[in-house]
Amino acid sequence: MSRSLIPWRRGRGAAPARAEESPFDALHREMTSLFDSFFRDVEQTFRGWPAWRGTPAFVSPSVEVSETDDELRVTAELPGLTEKDVEVSVDNDVLILRGEKKQEREEKKRSYHLVERAYGRFEREIPLPAGLDLDKVEAKFKNGILTVVLPKTPEAKSQRRVVPVKEV
């Protein structure tokens, strides 16, 4: 009798509720099914867009940080972007990489007109060590690769000490 009072169990091809199942279990199962369906549809929508495959990689781009005696070098992979799509800044000893990708596809045929748009933003913050000359930072962008060079101060260069390792 109480099953007929649950609106989401009526019609639409829903499986009948199990005798031992509570209304909350049924609601949980239905919500899980809705989310699975939604994300399956989103994945199918963007499957044909090469730049959007692997979206998490775009949202948080791959970054490599390397250090030499003279500089700290940050390299980020940003495929499909141009230098105009990227912003590089330093704020309170944090290197901030920001970018936005806009992609649009338009197709006109005799029987239809299709317009698809997709947008994506990213922001990556990289804490910087002390001893960098932040007034001489350089950023270069070529073929989807952003390279930021942060030179070290003369004081930071002279602080490097090699510690001998002794056999015990």
pLDDT single digits (tens) 68-100? 888 999 999 988 888 999 999 999 889 999 988
* Domain interval for residue 18: 2-46
- How far is the CA of 93 from the CAs of 131, 142, 154, in angstroms? 10, 25, 18
Category of 29 on φ-ψ map: left (φ > 0), alpha (ψ -120 to 50) or beta: alpha
68 and 41 in a common domain: no
Looking at the fold, whether 99 and 142 belong to one and the same domain comes out as: yes
pLDDT digits (tens, 9 = 90+) for 23-41: 888 888 888 888 887 777 6
User: From residue 134, how far is each of 89, 95, 125, 129, 149 by CA, in Å?
Assistant: 10, 10, 16, 11, 10
Based on the fold, state whether residues 104 and 131 are members of the same structural domain.
Answer: yes
Token pair of 159 as six digits:
């602080």
* Residue 80 CB contacts under 8 Å (≥ 6 apart), including other chains: 51, 101, 103, 144
**99 and 83 part of one domain:** yes
pTM: 0.56
